Structures are given as C-alpha cells and as structure tokens.
C-alpha cells in the first residue's frame, strides 16, 4: 500500500495533515478489504476535537477479481468525471467507482465472482417493476445497493422509497443466470448500454447525462 499526505478539514474548523491511502492491492495488503467493507477505510481522527472523519480522495485498488483494478473517484468529483473535466488522470482501470458506497458495493460484487453489469440490470428491473412482478418505482428518487447473497438469493437495499426507511429486495439466482446467459447482447441494447459500458458501470450514470 502507498499513502499520500493530504490536508483534512474538520467540522471544528481545524485543518491537519494525514496520511491517506493512494493505492492498495486487495490480496497483497491484508485487511484492506475488511476496512473498505466496514466503512472505516481512509478514516482519520481530528487531533483537536477527536471526531472521526471519513474524507474521500482518489484511490486505486488493484488485484480485484474479475476486473483487475478499481479507481475510486470521490463523490465531490462526480459531476466533473461525468462531464470529462476531471482534474487528474484515472488511468485505465477495469472499473470506476464514484464515492465510497459504490466502491464497497463493487468489492462485494467482485468478491463473489459476479458480473456488475448483471447486477446493475437487476437493479433496473427492480426500478421498473420487471423483477418478480414488483411495483414500478422508476419515478422515485431511489438508490439501490447490492448487499450480497442470502439463502440462494441476491440481496438489495432500496433507499428513498420512504423517508427514513430502507427497503429490502431478494431476487432469485435464476434471474441473475437468465440475464448473464445473453449479457453480451443485452449490453448492446438500450437502455442497458447506457449504464453498462465500462469503466463506470452504474445505473446512476444516465442521471449524469452520459447517454
């Protein structure tokens, strides 16, 4: 793992320098995966007020199953990346993750040996009500996050349907297999090609005008 000195600003108006990870290998750096998944990755403590902070800085994660490399673009740079105006190079990673939640999700997906394009299509079906005959929620400002497997099903959290509540959807393994069976054809078609094109594979991509 390599680190870089970054300046961090706390809510108490204290500014301090901290060593922030810049690159890591998911297999070669023990504990990195656990830190990402438990939300403590890049966390620092303010020396003045002792508040725990979780700043986001560009970060490259290598040795990732299925895609090789994930580059983390901080949430604050989402619009700049979407418009091609990012002030730094991301290189040529297998995947881009924007914000920690998306990085965590990608680590879960690839850790299970899954294809994130299939997972994003499953999210699309949840939004449009096409999955398991569900209610259409495409007109609502919702975020769907993949959480892993449970009893042979794929588990998703749905945020934004009701204020302060998190919904749960469990989709059968058979749906994943059905989508995967003709994935290469699906990703050439609308609307799937809009959000399944690497390196940023995300259902949120069309919302940024990337069509």
Domain residue ranges of the chain, discontinuous segments joined by +: 2-111, 116-203
What integer pLDDT is reported at residue 205 of this predicted model? 86
What integer pLDDT is reported at residue 140 of this predicted model? 56
What integer pLDDT is reported at residue 134 of this predicted model? 60
Quote the CA–CA distance of 80 and 203 in Å, as a whole number: 18
From first to last of its 211 residues, the chain has per-residue pLDDT tens of: 999 999 999 999 999 999 999 999 999 998 999 999 998 999 999 999 999 999 999 999 999 999 999 999 999 999 999 999 999 999 999 999 999 999 999 999 999 999 999 999 999 999 888 565 566 665 557 889 999 998 889 999 998 877 778 889 999 999 999 999 999 999 999 999 999 999 999 998 865 544 3
What integer pLDDT is reported at residue 160 of this predicted model? 81
């Amino acid at each position: 793992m390599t680190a870089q000195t970054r300046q961090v600003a706390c809510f108490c108006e204290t500014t301090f320098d901290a060593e922030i990870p810049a690159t890591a290998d998911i297999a070669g750096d023990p504990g990195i995966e656990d830190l990402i998944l438990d939300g403590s990755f890049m966390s620092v403590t303010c020396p003045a007020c002792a508040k725990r902070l979780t700043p986001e800085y560009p970060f490259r994660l290598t040795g990732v199953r299925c895609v090789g490399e994930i580059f983390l673009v901080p949430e604050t740079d989402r619009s700049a990346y979407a418009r091609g105006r990012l002030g730094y190079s991301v290189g040529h990673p297998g995947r881009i993750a924007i914000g920690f939640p998306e990085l965590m999700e990608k680590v879960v997906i690839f850790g299970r040996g899954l294809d994130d394009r299939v997972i994003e299509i499953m999210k699309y079906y949840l939004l449009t009500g096409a999955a398991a005959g569900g209610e259409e929620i495409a007109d609502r400002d919702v975020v769907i996050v993949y959480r892993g497997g449970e009893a042979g099903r794929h588990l998703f959290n749905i945020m934004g349907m009701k204020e302060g509540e998190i919904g749960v959807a469990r989709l059968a393994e058979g749906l994943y297999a059905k989508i995967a069976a003709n994935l290469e054809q699906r990703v050439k078609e609308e609307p799937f090609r809009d959000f399944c094109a690497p390196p940023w594979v995300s259902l949120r991509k069309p919302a940024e005008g990337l069509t």
